[in-house]
Amino acid sequence: MSLNRIFAFGAAKNLVFSLHRPAQHLRMSSLEEIIANNKRNGEIISSIASELAVMRRELLAQKKQQLREENVVLKQQVETAKQQLIALELSHSKKQIPLPNSRGLCTEVGANLNAEPKVKSPKDKCPETSPVDQKQTAAKEKKPKKEKPVASANVATELPVDAGRLDMRVGRIIEIGRHPDADSLYLEKIDCGEAQPRTVVSGLVKFVPLEEMQNRLVIVLCNLKPAKMRGVTSEAMVMCASTADKVEVLSPPAGAVPGDLVHCEGYPRQPDAQLNPKKKIFETCAPDLRTNDQLVACYKGAALHVPGKGNIVAQTLKNVNVK
């Protein structure tokens, strides 16, 4: 082989090797780039999944909080509707009857269920009974039924002594003048939303001018026992914020009308038909009837109000007795 052919063969061989190496290097670079891209994509997917989990937890927490707030609002609306229903029933002379204590009933039934059955002796087994014995047995079975009215009466007398026992209503003074036999007393006719106005005697001559009383809306305590004052029977009492030197007639909220019932938050309205003077219910409640720093009339700090219309207020007297 000539020298020229040897050189030519060597050059061709080197050319083949030089063309083959870049193609192999290109394939390895592409594979590594694909692997790196897959790794980055996996990290991105994991990050997105973590963010979605966090967002899902936050949304669930927000939804739970929203539902709790809605439940609170619904409970308040139910309580308001309940108070309005009670007020409506009372305005139509529907007496509110408290639920009887069920504990005694359950205890009695439980005792009967747990009692061991009595084994009758041969003397007790009488297949033949006379008509007289049958009547006596029937009378014994009916005796427990006669005790029910007594039990309900006892429940009625066990009501707590609080502002719920006081029948306070909105009234309008439609007629007023001086008491014929007492210079310090007003003689008033007050419309309380009933068939006839009530006659009321008030010792307000020294504190409130006559012209300020005429046609005025007031708060009236209606279930006091009627009492004679200088020969005139007073059928109610006008409620006032009072000190030794100053007396202010309590004012109903705007929009109130004669006959509107006064409620006290936390003390269900279940007034007596007439307060028994011997039990001193009003006298017991009176020390806790006061105005607060915002001039609102309260019982033990709970505002007196007309549902849906507003609170009962004084004009200027704060933290004083209401009577």
CA dist., res. 137 & res. 152, Å (int): 26
Rg, C-alpha atoms of the chain = 44
The tokens for 234 are 């007073």
CA dist., res. 312 & res. 250, Å (int): 7
Spell out the residues 6+ positions from residue 86 whose beta carbon is closer than 8 angstroms to its own.
96, 268, 269
| Chain position carrying tokens 């009215």 | 149
Which CATH topology does 163-322 take?
Answer: OB fold (Dihydrolipoamide Acetyltransferase, E2P) (2.40.50)
pLDDT at 107: 39
Question: What are the angstrom distances between the C-alpha of 103 and each of 99, 109, 183, 184?
Answer: 12, 10, 57, 54
CA dist., res. 310 & res. 317, Å (int): 18
Contact 260, 168 (CB under 8 A): no
* Nearest CA among 295, 274, 296, 300 for reference residue 163: 300
CA dist., res. 3 & res. 253, Å (int): 126
- Walk along the chain (323 residues) and give the pLDDT tens digit of each residue: 555 555 555 555 555 455 455 555 656 678 888 888 888 888 899 889 888 988 988 899 888 888 988 888 888 888 888 888 887 887 777 777 765 554 444 434 344 444 444 555 544 444 455 555 555 555 555 555 555 544 444 444 568 999 999 999 999 999 999 998 888 999 999 999 999 999 999 999 999 999 999 999 999 999 999 999 988 999 999 999 999 899 999 999 999 999 999 999 999 999 999 999 999 999 999 999 999 999 999 999 999 999 999 999 999 999 999 99
Instruction: Write the DSSP assignment of 55-121 as a string of letters.
Output: HHHHHHHHHHHHHHHHHHHHHHHHHHHHHHHHHHHHHTT----PPPPHHHHHHHHHHHHHSPPPPPP
HSE (side-chain half, CA atoms, 13 Å) at 212: 10
| Chain position carrying tokens 């036999």 | 181
CA dist., res. 201 & res. 219, Å (int): 14
The Cα angle at residue 26 between residues 23 and 31, in degrees rounded to 5: 130
Contact 167, 271 (CB under 8 A): yes
Phi-psi region of 12 (alpha: psi -120 to 50; beta: other; left: phi over 0): alpha
pLDDT at 24: 58
> What is the Cα 50 distance to its own chain's centre?
44
